[in-house]
Amino acid sequence: MRNVTFVIGALVLAVVAIVGYEQIRPTAQRVASSGATPQSGDSTTELASRLLLPPYLAQQDSAAYELKLYPGTLPPDPKIDLPQPSGSRVVGAAVRLRNKAPAALDVVMDVPESTGDVAAYFERELTKAGWTAAPNRGGPQGGFVSGPVGNSRTFCKGENPPWYSVTAFAVAGAPFDVRAHIDLVNPSPYPGSFGPCSQPAQPAGIGINNGMNKLPALHAPSGVTMRTSGGGGGNDRQSSEAVATGKTSAKDLEAAFAQELVAAGWIRAAGSADGPIAWSTWKVAGDGNWRGLLLVNELSGEVRSLLLQAQLVQ
């Protein structure tokens, strides 16, 4: 009898201990065990899915979201246009499902350095496949345009989805890290939201000629990171300043920006490249006797200062 009482007492203590542990164990473990079931039953897949499916998605429209991962390959559905340069490697893909239907797709791939301008390659190949580059949403901004660390392009097949974006990140001594993202449905649940190729209504009183309209937008070439550092002007003078980081020389950087100026209708008057400095003067497109100046100065290492100026000659 004493043995039976001892056994019962031990079982009660064990139950109390287990209940107590459930109440005081780390929150992260409790959340993980009460979360969505992993696709393959392993915690790594569950963690990846939870990180890639932020909780606000379900909160914003009360839909059911889930994620499917495809390591080393593309999903069988949906079919996508994914140009793959020679020697590239698909790291994997993820498909986001909304109420069991594909809503968005992400692909990660390595592209050899020998490909050159990766963004231009994707733009060329996707255009062949019927995609159109999205218009610039930067408004009337002129001069040097700060860009992300990666070189990005966005494409559409109309005002409604699908919408396609490709970003290439340059990694020293390694292949380009390329990320492709496709929205198969509008990611915004709010009525009236527009996409990269739609035509939003222009607010009253805002015209295309406001701001630095004499300076065309200049974007950094592949392999160069650019950050604006100043600029401004008035009715008779406009300027833009920036700092560029990359291995491209002052001469080659000036030549790259010069191509963009020519495309904007500027006419080159003179120019030179001598050591760390490259410059050129221009006849600015449009009405009035405006003159332009482009100056690139190699400050140190991979740092270059940039100046673009337009001035009205009375």
pLDDT in tens, 220-235: 887 788 888 888 877 8
pLDDT, residue 232, reads 82
Crossing angle of helices 43-52 and 27-34, rounded to 10°: 90
Q: Note the pLDDT of residue 115.
A: 86
Among the listed residues 221, 219, 209, the one whose alpha carbon sits nearest the alpha carbon of residue 144: 219
Whether this model's pTM surpasses 0.85: no
Q: Kindly give, in sequence order, each residue whose CB lies less than 8 Å from that of residue 178, ignoring residues fewer than 6 positions away.
A: 88, 108, 109, 110, 111, 118, 166, 167, 168, 169
Q: How far is CA 216 from the centre of its chain?
A: 22
Residues 250-262 have pLDDT tens digits of 999 999 999 999 9
Residue 27 has pLDDT above 50, yes or no: no
**pLDDT reading at 285 higher than 80:** yes
pLDDT at 189 (0 to 100): 65
pLDDT of 10 reads: 40
Question: What percent of the chain has pLDDT above 70?
Answer: 77
What average pLDDT does the segment 273-291 reach? 93
User: What span, in angstroms and rounded, lies between the C-alpha atoms of 180 and 105?
Assistant: 8
Beta pairing partners, 104: 96, 183
CB atoms within 10 A of CB 19: 10
Asked if the model's pLDDT at residue 181 lies above 80, the reply is: yes
Q: Over range 71-77, report the average pLDDT.
A: 95
Strand partners of residue 298? 304
Asked if the model's pLDDT at residue 153 lies above 80, the reply is yes
DSSP H helices in 35-184: 43-52, 56-61, 118-128
Average pLDDT rounded to a whole number, residues 98-106: 94
Round the average pLDDT of the chain to a whole number and report it: 79
Helix (H, G, I), strand (E, B) or coil at 204: coil
CA distances from 58 to 43, 104, 188, 195, 264 (A): 22, 15, 12, 21, 45
Residues 6+ apart with CB under 8 A from 265: 285, 286
Over residues 199-206, the mean pLDDT reads: 49
pLDDT at residue 248 tops 60: yes
Q: Calculate mean pLDDT across residues 258-286.
A: 94
Q: Where are the beta strands (DSSP E) in the chain?
A: 65-71, 89-98, 101-111, 132-133, 143-144, 151-156, 163-169, 176-183, 217-218, 225-233, 237-245, 267-274, 277-283, 290-300, 303-312
pLDDT at 18 over 60: no
pLDDT band at 148 (very low <50, low <70, confident <90, very high): low
Where is average pLDDT lowest: 73-87, 179-193, 280-294? 179-193
pLDDT surpassing 90 at residue 276: yes
With beta carbons less than 8 A apart as the criterion, state whether 97 and 68 touch. Answer: yes
Residue 204 banded pLDDT, cuts 50, 70, 90: very low
Answer whether residue 56 shows pLDDT above 80.
no
Confidence class for position 197, pLDDT limits 50, 70, 90: confident
The model's confidence at residue 125, banded by pLDDT at 50, 70 and 90, is very high
